[in-house]
Each structure stands twice: as C-alpha cells, then as structure tokens.
C-alpha cells in the first residue's frame, strides 16, 4: 500500500530524510516513534505529497506519488490525514465539516453525505454533536470529528501525526480507542505518536526514527523488549 524506496528529502541544504526504505502492507498498522525533529512528520507528509521527495521512489496504492503525470488530488482521496491540531473549520457545524469534501470533491449528494457523516459520527461516539460548532466541543471530541471527517472520504490509508499530543491527558484515551477500533477493522494506518502503550498494543510494526533515518523496525514485543540499536535503547530509556 505504501512503498518508500531509497527516499531522500532535503529542505534546502538540510538533509531531513536519509535513505528511507519502508513498506506498508494493506491492513497493516505501523507506528512511528522517535525524538522531536527526527523527520517523522516529514516522512508522513511525503505520503500524500504535502512534501516532495528529492530522491528515490514513493509508491502509494500503486501510484508513483511524485510522478509529474500523477493526478495528486485523485491520489489524495485515498489517503486520510489527522493532525495534532484538528484543523476543523471553526465557522462550520460538525456535520458540515464532515460533508464538505465528499460533496465538493467526490460529488456525493448532500443527503448521501449527511447519512455517511452520521454513520461515522456514530462510530466515533459523538453523533449527538452533529449540529454543534467545533468550539463547543472538547479537544478529544474535536479530534474524533477530525477522524470521522477523514473516514467519510472512505480512504484506503489513514495517516495520524501525533493525534493526541495536543489533548489534555483525560481525553487521550477516547481518541486512542477510536484508532484502536479502526486498526482492528483492518484500516491501513501509519501513526506517529509518543503513546508507547498504543504502539505496544496496536502496532503490527514499530519504526524508530532518529536524525532522518529509520534506525530500527520490529514487531512491538521485540522492539520494546529487545531493542537492537543503542540509539533506540537511549530513546526508550527516556520515554518509558
């Protein structure tokens, strides 16, 4: 579903991603961890070409994402993204935040889009807030709306960039629960997070990044019990 082959990226002279090789299968949940500034967000953003790569091959759902001939808007329909700051439209009701893209981008009828929106709001446990404005919701509720908005486009892949980092601690669990459910249902997911409990419990594979490189990748049991690399051990000793 996602295939990085010898991918490099530079910001000007700064070499932010170094020889990234990463292969994500359909239905797999890959959790990316690593210190701040290690390139996690940049790597995630390359997947939907919010950032362009400077070398290598990146294929997503069979499409070469940096090929000039690729219709990037079409490719992006298959890729949902959830950010640390929920990026909801503040002047639109919850339901309208969710129906906007399906109506505008997919050409779905208003009635159909509302039905789908309610289905996903139900799924993330906040159907009762459909008519509220984002500012009337808690952070955890807003993030669940953002997830429902992503799902309403029926993507094949969901990318999460520190989805719980901006939340008060008591709201982290409700968002992780929604993500756990999605994972169980077979969604292909790449999740950047500092929630090591989630990584241990939900990931099929954990990737550790440092200074623009994938330093280590392993199944979670192996990753947490027997990290092979010194840099991984140092990181884990700081966060666990």
Residues that bind Mg ion (CB under 5 A): 41
Selected binder of ligand ADP within 20, 24, 29, 40 (CB under 6 A): 40
Selected binder of ligand ADP within 6, 11, 27, 71 (CB under 6 A): 11
Spatial CA neighbour of 2 closest among 60, 51, 50 = 60
Both tokens of 8, joined, read: 């490099």
CB of 111 to Mg ion, least distance (A): 38
Q: Checking phi first, is residue 167 left (phi over 0); if not, alpha (psi -120 to 50) or beta?
A: beta
Selected binder of ligand ADP within 41, 164, 188, 193 (CB under 6 A): 41
Spatial CA neighbour of 167 closest among 197, 142, 199, 133 = 142
The stretches of the chain forming alpha helices (DSSP H) are 40-47, 72-76, 94-104, 110-123, 139-151, 169-184, 196-202, 220-225, 230-239
CA angle 235, 238, 240 (to 5 degrees): 100
Q: Indicate whether 134 belongs to the interface with ligand ADP (CB under 6 A).
A: no
Applying CB under 6 A, which part among 9-17, 19-27, 85-93, 113-121 lies near ligand ADP? Answer: 9-17
Compare residues 40 and 76 and give the one whose CB is closer to ligand ADP.
40
Applying CB under 6 A, which part among 36-44, 117-125, 152-160, 169-177 lies near ligand ADP? Answer: 36-44
CB of 116 to Mg ion, least distance (A): 30
Q: Indicate whether 14 belongs to the interface with ligand ADP (CB under 6 A).
A: yes
Among positions 89-128, residues that touch ligand ADP (CB under 6 A) are none
CB 84 within 8 A of CB 163: yes
198 C-beta neighbours (distance < 10 Å), count: 22
Applying CB under 6 A, which part among 30-38, 141-149, 150-158, 181-189 lies near ligand ADP? Answer: 30-38
CB of 82 to ligand ADP, least distance (A): 14
Selected binder of ligand ADP within 2, 7, 16, 30 (CB under 6 A): 16
CB 231 within 8 A of CB 215: yes
User: d(Cα 175, Cα 181) in Å, to the nearest integer?
Assistant: 10
Compare residues 46 and 151 and give the one whose CB is closer to ligand ADP.
46
User: d(Cα 4, Cα 20) in Å, to the nearest integer?
Assistant: 6
Compare residues 17 and 152 and give the one whose CB is closer to ligand ADP.
17
Residues that bind ligand ADP (CB under 6 A): 11, 14, 16, 34, 36-42
């Amino acid at each position: 579903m996602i295939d990085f082959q010898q991918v490099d990226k530079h910001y000007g002279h700064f070499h932010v991603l170094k020889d990234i090789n990463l292969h994500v299968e359909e239905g797999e949940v890959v959790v990316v961890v690593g210190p701040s500034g290690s390139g996690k967000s940049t790597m995630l953003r390359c997947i939907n070409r919010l950032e362009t790569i400077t070398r290598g091959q990146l294929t997503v759902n069979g499409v070469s994402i940096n090929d000039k001939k690729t219709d990037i808007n079409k490719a992006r329909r298959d890729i949902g993204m959830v950010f640390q700051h929920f990026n909801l439209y503040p002047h639109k009701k919850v339901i309208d935040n969710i129906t906007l893209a399906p109506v505008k981008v997919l050409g779905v009828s208003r009635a159909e889009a509302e039905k789908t929106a309610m289905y996903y709001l139900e799924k993330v446990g906040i159907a009762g807030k459909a008519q509220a404005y984002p500012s009337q919701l808690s952070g955890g509720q807003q993030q669940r709306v953002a997830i429902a908005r992503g799902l309403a486009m029926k993507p094949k892949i969901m990318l999460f960039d520190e989805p719980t980092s901006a939340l008060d601690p008591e709201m982290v669990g409700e968002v992780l629960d929604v993500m756990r459910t999605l994972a169980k249902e077979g969604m292909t997911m790449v999740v950047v997070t500092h929630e090591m409990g989630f990584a241990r419990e939900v990931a099929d594979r954990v990737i550790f990044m440092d200074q623009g490189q994938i330093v280590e990748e392993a199944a979670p049991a192996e990753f947490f019990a027997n990290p092979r690399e010194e840099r991984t051990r140092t990181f884990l000793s700081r966060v666990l």
